[in-house]
Each structure stands twice: as structure tokens, then as C-alpha cells.
Structure 1
């Protein structure tokens, strides 16, 4: 039967990237150090050889220029005069041999007296030509680095030759004395390189969490897949307020045409409130921000790699569709509330009518019931007849009932007449509903009579909306900030800014821009808001 692999073998993981780099760096350091040591050894050997050649040449030059040597080689017994003199020079100069010889190679001197009178072994032709030269030659003392030069007589003729040399063995011993320095330097370089590699590997292991190259690649692939697939915008902003990462959804939600990586936050062209939040890097939880075309829920938290703050991570969620649905839900809720209020009023009226009948005042009961029915039906008939958009009709009826309960009279202008607009119902609810709510709140802050006047009509290829209230109005100095997120005239702080306080008019402005319309406000007492939206043709609706 085949042997089963143990669990330790099956679970064996690849070496970490830090470990692999450590081994690679150690190998590189060893190769570099060994190569450097070899080069240093070659340089040292060359230097020792050149030093030996220089010493031998200096000895030869000194002897060939000596009058004693010239007189001795021309005398009757050169060996008797030169042998003791040359041996003293040899001992003092530290060379292996000094040989004075005749032009026919006959030795006058030699460290080994038995070699005197015998032929000199080596090259002499350059010296006979009058030139001092060096060579490596194997003579009676073995291989040596030697210099040979001529002794020139008064007539210019070469009367003798002088040769001095250092054996290769002695050169080797000189070189051996330089070896500890070369080896010590190599070991020191190896130790420094190993320590540096270990420190770098430790730092890399900490930063890569001791993952292997394959694991790092897999993590990067998953990272990229998540960034591109997640349906939530993600921004990473460093401590210098530069964007370090922005996924596809963030670029879409913020309407960024190109990759913002490396750009400063203030250069992205974002709304002032959102830019201020990103620059401040303060923690934020579910803050609502309005951009040119979207409503975003923003969360911001500090990033703390290694326990140190290094910037912020920002998440963005698209709240636009939810805001539209919320507006529609508010419209339905308002309509239901108006039905509840009307049912309550109908019950009161019915009780009153029944009581009049029980009192025997039948005529007055009929008159009261008829008057109340006509008053309630008049508004409904007017709205239903003038407004073909069911959502707009329900919104106006609901807002009228809600305003009546709060003590505000909602007047529908007689010019109101709306057919099919082709505009999204949610957008219409957002625009008209927020303007009416804002007008009711403003009217409650003013003096009686508290009224809101609404007019909605089509003119040519545009839908016109006008909402006017009897409230205190908008100060001239605040007109430029009316449609900014967070601006409000309400004194109540029950709704924090992050949860939508001062958001209604900002949503109106955003929706109007997205639909290609215009929005204006009149300063002074009694605020007036006018909206003009382009209608959509059947061809545009079919697209």
C-alpha cells in the first residue's frame, strides 16, 4: 500500500517572503565579500611583487653607480673585493641574492660561494644593451623576482652586470603577513552585511506579517477583487490629507473622472462640508452629505497601523434612492395622516349632525352637514381636477390636512394645473414636499395669519413650482447659504446635523440640479421659492 503523507507535510507552507529575502541577501553578501576578498588578495599579491621589484631595482641602481663596484670589476681580483661588500649590502637591503657578473655571464659574487665563477642563469641581453630591467626567473636559489642592470665604464662600454633578486618564497612570506588584514576585513564586512540583512528581514517580516510571496499575491488579488466588487465607496486619506486609495464605487459616488490617488482632498472639487470633514479627519458616524447629484452617508475613522495614527478610512453609502423612497413614504404617511384627521373631523361632524337631529333641529342639521361636506370636498375636487399626477395630488392633499392640524392654512393657487410630467415621482415628492414642509415650519414661526401658498403648473415644456409662506423670511445675508446642508432657521436641536437637520432645502437644490432645472429664493419677509423643471417627452421616457 502507498504511504500516506503526514499532516505536517500536507500543511507545510511556503517560506515567508522575509525569509527568502534574508537567504538571498545572505548569499549576495557572501558572494560580494568573497569576491572583494579575492580582489583584495590579488591586489595585495601584486603590491608585494611590485614592492619586491622596486627593492631589487633600487639595489641594482645603487651598486651599478658605485665607484667601488666599477673599480673592482676592472681590477685583478673582483671577487675578493666585491664578495664581502655585496654580502653586507644584501643583508642590509633584505634581498635574497646580489650577483655581480662579467659581460660573459661569469659570476664574481654569489650568496653560495660554490657558484662563484660559474655562468649566471637568467636574461642579460637588455642589460648588455645598457638598460635595467626586471623579470621572474628560476635560478640556483629557485624562482625569484630579479632586477638586472649594466655597470658602464668610463668609455661608455658595459664592463659588468649587477643582478639582485628576492625569491618567491620570501614574497610569499611577505604576502602571508598581509593575509590577516584581508581576512579580518572580509569577516568584518560579512558580519556587517549579515547584521544588516537580519535587521532588514526582521522589519520586512513585521510589515508583511511573515507571509510568503504566494500568500502576499493572494491577499493582493483578494484586496483588488473586494475593492472593485464592494458596493460601498472607500477612501483612504493619509496624514498629509492626500488620497492613497479610492475604489470604483467611491469614484462613482464622488463623480471623480480619474484616479485621485496622490491628490490632496481640497483638490477633488467636493462640496465644502464634505471637504472640511475629510480635512479635519475627525471621527464621523452616518453623517449625511449632499453632493451635486447624490445624498451620501459618510463614516470616517482613524487608521492606526502599528498603533499609530496615520490618516483616516472613509466609507460612503449612496443614500439618494433611499432618500427618494423616504420622501414617497413621507407622502404616503402624510396622506394617511390626512385621512386620519379627516376621519376624526368627519366623526365630530357626524356627532354634531346626529345631536342636531336628536334635538329636533333637522333643518339646521342638514344645513350643517351640507356646508361641511362642500368645504371638505371643494379642496379635493380642485386638486384632483387640476393635478393628473396621482403622487402630486396625494402629496398636496396630505400636506393640506397636516398643515391644517398644525394651524397653518395651505392654499392651492387657482393657476395650479399639471398633466403628465414624465418626471420621477420620487423627485417631485422631494422637491414639492420639502418646499411645503419648509413653508409650514416658517409660517408657524411668523405672526397670524399663518399661510402657505402653493402653485404648480406647466408652461410650455417646463414644470413651474412656486411656494410662498407668511413666515419671517430669509435674511439677505443668508441667501447664499440657504441651499447648503446644515443651514436651517429652526431653533430646535432635536435633530443633529448628521441625521438630517437642515437637509431639506439641500436635497431640493440637488434634485433640481440633477433634473436640469433652476431654483431661486426671494429674501426678505415671507420666503418665496420658485422651481422650473424641464418636462420629459414620451421619447425621453421610452429611453
Structure 2
């Protein structure tokens, strides 16, 4: 089996991701609908039990019967009749101390009420497990001239509540299935669109392609700036030579050579140096001078080789420098960018790359969003805004490293693990 088949194409991954997202959303929605229906039925049960209990407690014949020698003779038939008319599961009438004088099961008459009896006469609703199982019940005091003569408890079992919900489930299921079908169609369309763009390439290959594009872009911009700067200086030197000002021409050419040679010496002195990254730094230094940004590079000669490929290294360093120069260019003076390559503090074999700038920094609410694909605090355009930092983090984390944003000054710190010999 090929590595491509094992990884799965990007189109297939998009289909799976969208389909799973749709399934999760539909499941959550169905659960919300069921819970909402249960909550609605429970609320209705509380209102009905409260209303019926209060109505019975206010009947004069209930109070009179509770004071009679045999209250069950009149209250048991009355409770049974009300239960039949209202469809309630039980109506229990009891004495002030909680002895039942009516119950759905006549055998329970004379026994103590199972549930909470308030310490003071007041209306109280609760869920309690009694002889009929869990139920929502409301207990209301029966008073005569302020004197407590008994209690009326009316309840609906949880089973009855769910029996009213069950008929709604087919409707909920049909909605869920319709939404799931729509989600699967969306996943199929997303897969089809992705396949048109990327074919059957795996996601890793597409990321590598994006990294290659970003590497070429940022390296091309750097070399263009370097070529442009050298061209300007050469034209100036030629003009000075034509004017007979040889000393000034030599000074310009010597200064150009000296600035480039300093950075070349730093890159060459590093034992793990990458010539491609060195060329990038030379170009970015010229680009910084072209934009009026002070440039400095600190390259530790003992810094280890990066675990990244040349393409990925150029993408990471180039994008971080591009962001830093954009931030510095937008800031008030002084405008500067600093780049450093050194060993990590925890391990001499690990590489740490720091890119700092004099920009305004990143607001706290945006510190995670800046790594999202497509998000940028800068205007969109042909430069691929909203791709850089997302690609940088993807490359770094794939290599087992991490990226961190620090303040004062704004600094992106990339830490890469030791390379495998």
C-alpha cells in the first residue's frame, strides 16, 4: 500500500471532517430538541399540579371532610373523580401530620405521605420518588381561618411526562435525518471541490506545495530587494566614476560589500548553517534597508542545524521576517527588526529562532486567531495574507517544535527539537 493511500487524500479528509462535523451538530441539535421537549412537559406538569392542588385545597367540602371523623369516605371518591377527568397520576389528600386519607391505591390510605411536607403552610413543588415511582408533585395546604387542617398533593409521574414526549421523537428524528443528509451533501460538494483543486494528493503534499510557494515568494522578494539595492548602488557608483569622483564611488561599493560580507560571515560561521536561509537573510537585509527599517542579525556559530528542510526553513523564517517588517514599517520611529539563531536553553542540540520588531504588537484577543488560516490583521491581497503564520505553525508543530509570541518587544520564538543523526 502506498504512502498516499495510507495518508488519505486531502479531498477525503475534507469529506470526513465536514461529515463528522455535520453529524456532531445534528446529534447535538436532536439532543437539545429532546431536552427542550422534556423541559416543556415538566414545566407544564408543574403548572397543572399546582393549579389542581390549589383548586382542591380551596374547596369547602375538602376542608369540611378533613375535619370529619371518616374523611376518606368522601375524599377518596372525590380524588378518583378528579384524576379521571384531569388525567393526573395521583391526588393524595392528607391530614396536617401527613396521614393519607385518599390515594390512587386504596391500600395506601392511612399510611404516611411519601414526600416533603413543608414546615409552614405553603405551596411546594418537587420531584420525588413515591409508591408510583419518580414524579413531579405539588403540595398545597388546606386552611380554615388560618388554621392548617390538611394537605393536598397532586402529581404526574416522570413516565407520563415521557409518554407525551415519545410521539414527538419521529418528528425530531426526521429533522435530524434531513439535516444530516444536507450535511453529507455539503461534505460531498466540499470533497468534489477539493478534488478539483488538489486531485488525490494527500494533505501533507498540499501543505508542502504551499510551503514551497511561500518559500519561493519570500525568497524571490528578498532577492529582488537585494538586486534592486545593488543595482541602485552600482548606478550611483558608475555615475560618480563618470564625474571623476572615484573615492566616493569606491566608498559606496566598499560599504555595500562590507554590509553583505558581515552577514555572510555570520551565516558561514554557523556549523549547521543552511545556504538557502543565508541567501534569504541577505535579501531580507536589503529589503529592510529599502523600506527604511534598521536590520540586525545575531547568528550563533554554534547553533545546530535545523530539522526542517530548506523549503520549510525558508517558509518559517521568511514569513516571520515579513510579518515583522510589516509591523515595524507601520510603527512610529524607531523602526527595526532583529533576527537571532541560537541553541535552545534546555538543549544545545535544539535550535531557537527569534524574530523581533518594533511594531505595536498583537492584541490579547487575537493571539490565537493570528494562527488561523485566512485571518490577518493586515489588508488582504495577492501576497497571500492570512496564510503565513498558519503555515509557520503547521510546519513547526509537524516537526515537533513550538511557536511562542512574547511581548516587549514583540517577538516570535520558534523552538525546534534536535535533528536525528
TM-score between the two structures when normalised by the length of structure 1: 0.40
Q: 2:135 aligns with which of 123, 134, 144?
A: 144
2:57 to 49, 61, 64: 64
The DSSP-based 3-state class of the residue aligned with 2:239 is coil
Match of residue 144, structure 2, among 150, 153, 158: 153
1:217 aligns with 2:210: no
User: Which residue does 2:156 correspond to in 1?
Assistant: 166
Matches within 5 A, 1:446-525: 515-516=238-239
* Cα shift at 1:113: 3.0
1:121 corresponds to which residue?
Answer: 113
* Conserved 8 A contact 2:4-2:201: no
> What is the correspondence of 1:42-57 to structure 2 with a 5 Å cutoff?
42-57=35-50
Q: Give the Cα–Cα distance (whole angstroms) in 1 for the partners of residues 114 and 43 of structure 2.
A: 19
- Aligned residue runs from structure 1 range 53-92, under 5 A: 53-92=46-85
CA deviations on 1:484-507 (whole Å, 9 max, x unpaired) are xxxxxxxxxxxxxxxxxxxxxxxx
Compute the displacement of 1:52 (Å): 1.8
Q: Once superposed, what is the RMSD of the aligned Cα atoms? A: 3.6
The number of residue pairs the alignment matches comes to: 252
Structure 1: any 5+ residue segments left out of the alignment? 1-7, 230-245, 258-290, 295-510, 518-531
- By how many angstroms is 1:10 displaced? 6.9
Question: How much does 1:515 deviate?
Answer: 4.0
Distance apart, 1:292 and its partner CA: 9.2
- SS of 1:125's equivalent? coil
SS at 2:36 equivalent: helix
SS in 2 for 1:119: coil
Q: How does 1:286-365 map to 2 (within 5 A)?
A: none
Contact 2:115 2:130 in 1 (8 A): no
Residues 136 and 155 of structure 2 are in contact (CA less than 8 Å); yes or no, is this contact kept in structure 1?
yes
How far apart are residue 103 of structure 1 and its match?
A: 1.9
Aligned counterpart, 1:33: 26
Q: Is 2:238–2:249's contact at 8 Å kept on the other side of the alignment?
A: no
Preserved CA contact (<8 Å) 2:140 2:153: yes
User: Using the alignment, how far apart are the partners of 2:56 and 2:248 within structure 1?
Assistant: 117
Q: C-alpha distance in 2, partners of 1:184/1:19?
A: 27
CA contact (8 A) 2:53 2:153 kept: yes
**TM-aligned CA deviation for residue 96 of structure 1:** 0.6
Q: Distance in 2 between matches of 1:189 and 1:159?
A: 57
C-alpha displacement of 1:130: 0.6
Closer/same/farther in 2, CA of residues 216 and 256 from structure 1, 3 Å limit: farther
Q: Structure 2 vs 1, CA of residues 223 and 110 (structure 1 numbering), >3 Å: closer, same or farther?
A: closer
Whose radius of gyration is greater, 1 or 2?
A: 1
Match of 1:454 in 2: none
- Rounded to whole Å, the distance in 2 between the matches of 1:539 and 1:167 is 100
SS at match of 1:516: helix
Higher relative contact order (CA 8 A, sep 6+): 2
Alignment gaps of 5+ in structure 2: 255-421
Tell me, in whole angstroms, the C-alpha distance in 1 between the residues paired with 2:84 and 2:27: 38
Whole-angstrom CA distance in 2 between matches of 1:252 and 1:115: 97
Other-structure match for 1:203? 193
Structure 2 CA distance for aligned equivalents of residues 256 and 293 of structure 1:
6
> In structure 2, what is the Cα distance between the partners aligned to 1:130 and 1:538?
108
In 2: Cα distance, 1:86 partner to 1:538 partner: 117
User: 2:105 pairs with 90, 108, 112, which one?
Assistant: 112
1:535 aligns with 2:244: yes
Q: Which moved more, 1:29-38 or 1:50-59?
A: 29-38
**Aligned partners of 1:61, 1:203: CA distance in 2, in Å?**
64
